[in-house]
């Protein structure tokens, strides 16, 4: 475990934000969470780490909580583009991810380094989001998600995509795919 902690410390002290470094940072944290049985204490780190290392997420035990939250946000706010954008981002909750990472670093006596500065965190967050582009997260074995009685498509998940130089949610639906249609929702900075 000492090597994992050293790698994490080297990252926070190095201030080099390549996609490879950000991936390695999350992979190392994930390994420690599993070894120390801390997955439930850091659910956002676990979710993002799993999302990062898999081409898609579909296993209920890795996605259930966040997907239930997102599902509720879609159903409740579907007809209001601004509200759904904000509510989905609250469920993804990059602010909570940062809090968990800082708490994790503190727990293991690792210097927070550049991650304590908001500007640097924003750059890391953007790098992470780019790593997650086009990696779908599916609503695995959850009840059908229909927003209203008269809506004739069922949402099966979401993914992040880049559109018009910004990152957006794309709601995934077999019915929309068959119609060659999409629902994109901007990912706002909260």
Percent of the chain clearing pLDDT 70 (strictly above): 85
Instruction: Tell the burial category of 145 from Cβ atoms under 10 Å away from its Cβ (0-12, 13-18, 19+).
Output: buried
Tokens linked to 11: 């990252």
- Give the list of residues 6+ apart from residue 111 with CB closer than 8 angstroms, or none: 9, 12, 13, 105
Is the pLDDT reported for residue 42 higher than 60? yes
Number of helices (H), then strands (E), in the chain: 8, 4
Segments in 42-178 forming alpha helices (H): 43-53, 60-77, 81-92, 94-107, 118-132, 174-178
Instruction: Tell the burial category of 156 from Cβ atoms under 10 Å away from its Cβ (0-12, 13-18, 19+).
Output: buried
Check the CA dihedral 111-116-117-118 and report its sign: positive
- CB count within 10 Å of CB 40 equals 8
pLDDT digits (tens, 9 = 90+) for 153-179: 677 888 999 988 889 888 888 777 777
Task: Quote the pLDDT of residue 104.
Answer: 96
**Average pLDDT for the chain:** 83
Task: Quote the pLDDT of residue 65.
Answer: 72
Task: Quote the pLDDT of residue 146.
Answer: 52
Is the pLDDT reported for residue 145 higher than 70? no
Task: Quote the pLDDT of residue 124.
Answer: 93
Instruction: Tell the burial category of 172 from Cβ atoms under 10 Å away from its Cβ (0-12, 13-18, 19+).
Output: buried
Report d(CA 184, CA 171) in Å as an integer: 7
Task: Quote the pLDDT of residue 153.
Answer: 60
pLDDT digits (tens, 9 = 90+) for 77-121: 766 666 777 877 777 888 899 999 999 999 999 999 888 899 999
């Amino acid at each position: 475990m000492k090597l994992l902690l050293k790698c994490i410390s080297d990252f926070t002290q190095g201030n080099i934000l390549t996609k490879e470094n950000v991936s390695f940072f999350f992979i190392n944290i994930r390994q420690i969470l599993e070894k120390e049985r801390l997955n439930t204490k850091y659910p956002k780190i676990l979710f993002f780490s799993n999302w990062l290392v898999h081409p898609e997420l579909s296993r209920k035990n890795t996605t259930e909580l966040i997907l239930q939250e997102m599902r509720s946000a879609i159903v409740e706010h579907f007809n209001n583009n601004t509200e759904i954008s904000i509510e989905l981002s609250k469920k993804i909750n990059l602010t909570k991810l940062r809090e968990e990472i800082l708490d994790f670093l503190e727990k293991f006596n690792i210097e927070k380094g550049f991650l304590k500065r908001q500007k640097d965190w924003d750059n890391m967050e953007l790098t992470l989001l780019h790593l997650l582009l086009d990696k779908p997260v599916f609503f695995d074995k959850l009840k059908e998600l229909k927003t209203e009685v008269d809506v004739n498509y069922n949402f099966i998940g979401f993914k992040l995509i880049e559109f018009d130089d910004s990152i957006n949610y794309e709601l995934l639906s077999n019915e929309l795919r068959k119609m060659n249609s999409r629902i994109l929702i901007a990912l706002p900075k909260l």
